[in-house]
Amino acid sequence: MIKKVSLTALLLAMMFSPLVSVHAEEIFGIQVYPGAKLDSETTQFLKDSLHLNAAAYRTTDSVAKVTTFYKGQKGLAVVSEKKEGAMFMKGSYELTVTIQNPWRNMKTGQQMTDTLISIAKPK
């Protein structure tokens, strides 16, 4: 039974994970980094605590690789670029993309060592 449930969950996740990216692309008007996974807990923090229309994604790829991807996105301008992170902006605060590694999980206080991508726009 457990194997059947796990297989079903895996198949559903594989079927619907592209929809999460498509939905974010419709909302924000830019592509989500390929292979990045939605971090629902961090997304909720951004929405509730910072009052942003936002989504957070995680990847094991380096900041440099993710930064290179977003440099190729039409309409995004580099605001800041460092070894441990980068920030892009579209328009006059119409949209921001931040890339961080390391980053701190705001709920647990734990320092995370994967790359966090936050896409946000004012509500």
Q: Give the pLDDT confidence score for residue 97 in this predicted structure.
A: 96
Give the neighbor-by-neighbor strand order of the sheet with 77-82.
37-38, 52-59, 115-122, 95-100, 85-90, 77-82
For 2-47, the pLDDT digits (tens) are 444 444 443 334 333 443 444 667 778 889 999 999 999 999 988 8
pTM of the model: 0.80
Q: Which residue ranges make up each domain of the chain?
A: 2-122
pLDDT at 20: 43
At 68-86, the pLDDT tens digits run 999 999 889 999 999 999 9
Q: Compute how many other C-beta atoms are within 10 angstroms of the C-beta atom of residue 65.
A: 13
- Give mean pLDDT, residues 61-74: 96
pLDDT for 84 equals 95
Contact predicate 104/56, CB 8 Å: no
Structure tokens at 83: 């070894």
CA distances from 50 to 16, 54, 74 (A): 27, 9, 26
Question: What are 117's strand-pairing partners?
Answer: 57, 99
